[in-house]
Amino acid sequence: MMPVEALKARVRDSGGPELLERLEWLDAERAHPSLRERPVRAPERGTHVDFDVVLAGGGLSLLYAPVLAGLGLRVGVFERGRAAVTHREWNISHAELRPLTDSGLFQPEEVESLILARYSHGVCRWHGGGEYPVRDALDHAVDAGRLLQEVRRRAEARGVRFHEGHTLVGTGEGPDAVRLQFERADGGRADVTARLLLDARGVSSPHATADLLCPTVGGVLTGLKEGTAPDELNPRVGDILVTTEGVEEGRQHIWEGFPGRPGETTVYLFYYAPARDVRGEHALLRLYGRFFERLGRYKRGEPRLLRPTFGYIPGWSRLVPPPRAPGQRVVLVGDAAARHSPLTYCGFGATMRSFLPASRAIASALHEGGVPPGPVVHDTPLHAVTGGLATLMASPPREPALRDELNGLLDAAFSALYALGNGPYSALIKDQMTGTDFVRFLYLVAKRRPRVYREILALASHGPMATARWLEGLSRAVLQLRAAS
């Protein structure tokens, strides 16, 4: 394992001091999380507000800002660092980009200009098992940085005000407004009032209480050997989920690889874990050490890291209560809400499904003098079931003799998906699988791996309430999905 100081130097040399600072801040925040925000004096009824909506966080959820402004609301964006900067790349299918045009933010030709690469298909491949290609899923690489820059430009044109170097440290909710206290980068403080706070701080939010976590590291690389072998880069193929080994150190490490600009590929290494188990110092830095050490097992060549990408992605298993805002005038969006799939963690797709209808719901409520009646972020009944599988992946068996059991389970599941055909296979990855296909999928998995029910019942190790929630979610999901089919 590369020493911590050497890892810091490598990240600093590749991505600059700001990226290293962000990485260290994320690790420190994870090791010593803020338990709660400080209480702030609540605004009295009738208090003049500075904004209708304050968006705390300037990442992917920045999409809400210009839409809300276009619906007649005064919007302010407050970001700890620089807004409209991303530390991850994004892949998606073409149809899932349609909300960018439906919202009026972009013209179709502008969306096309954001696409860096298209693939003929993607693959999922499990160590010791088969390879399962799928089309029309995560097959478009999007220029994430330019997308956010364009979203910011459109937001500013609609009157959205940006405040960078502002860290939210306290809130106080009154009858018709919420007071927000920020610490500024210059050491000062700022108090702001708004009718509604959109908490888009991701895992850094004290309300991001999801029970699963996906530490992810990697970056944009050049120098990978091109070819068609599994350990070579094929610019026409994306690796959606790939393992090169069994469980090690109690974790199943998974690779992703998505070609982008000619000669460039974004490669990730990640694992699922119970959130409570990811508390150690330098967790992301140490995962980077494994990334550099094991990259050659995944793809050969002489790689050079152009830009690091990393983060902690929260996921909610649906086996425990969801992340919840502290009041009616605080609304969780993006990773803070964790309503995306607990299995695929496709936050980009989830945000594409959410930002337009959620913005309309927020604007309608505020224009009528109220607040949104509940969570505004898109969810699907299917997540209540896939959360169980995600929980199993987060707690694989530690016994050396069982190190390949999880790969075997995943291979059985994806061979069943492949047997169903491309439509159901790609639909599962995009959270669009119908109830009829889902029932067929469960049947095929059990047929290929009869002991799968014993493995699912291992959820009992998480307590009887977790098992009951999963069985209840399974029944509800099947009924709702079949009704919608």
Distance (Å, whole) CA 103 – CA 409 = 41
Is 252 in the same domain as 172? no
Considering the domain boundaries, does residue 237 fall inside one? yes
Q: Cα dihedral sign for 382, 383, 385, 386?
A: positive
Specify whether 197 is located in the same domain as 339: yes
Specify the CATH number for the domain of residue 172.
3.50.50.60
Cβ neighbors of 82 (< 8 A, separation 6 or more) are 18, 58, 164
Same domain, 346 and 413: no
User: In terms of domains, do 122 and 170 share one?
Assistant: no
Check whether 299 has a pLDDT greater than 90: yes
**Are residues 359 and 424 located together in one domain of the fold?**
no
315, 344, 359 — which closes off a domain? 315
Parent domain of 437: 383-484
Residue 306 is part of a domain; what is its CATH number? 3.30.9
478 pLDDT tier (thresholds 50, 70, 90):
low
Residue 97 lies in a domain: no
Beta pairing class for 254-259 and 265-270: antiparallel
Indicate whether 352 and 304 sit together in one domain. Answer: no
Whether 291 is in a domain gets the answer: yes
Per-residue confidence at 460, pLDDT binned at 50, 70, 90?
very low
Indicate whether 289 pLDDT > 60.
Answer: yes
Neighbours of 122 (CB within 10 A): 25
By mean pLDDT, which of 132-141, 315-324, 429-438 is the weakest? 429-438
Query: Locate tokens 């956010």: which residue?
Result: 148
Q: Of residues 111 and 320, which shows the higher confidence score? A: 111
Structural domain includes residue 22: no
Residue 93 included in any domain: no
30 falls within a domain: no
For residue 31, being part of any structural domain is answered with no
The residue from 288, 315, 342 where one domain ends is 315
**DSSP 8-state assignment for residue 369:** T
Q: What confidence tens digit (pLDDT) does each residue in 412-455 have?
A: 999 999 999 999 999 999 988 877 788 788 889 989 888 876 76
Amino acid 170 reads: G
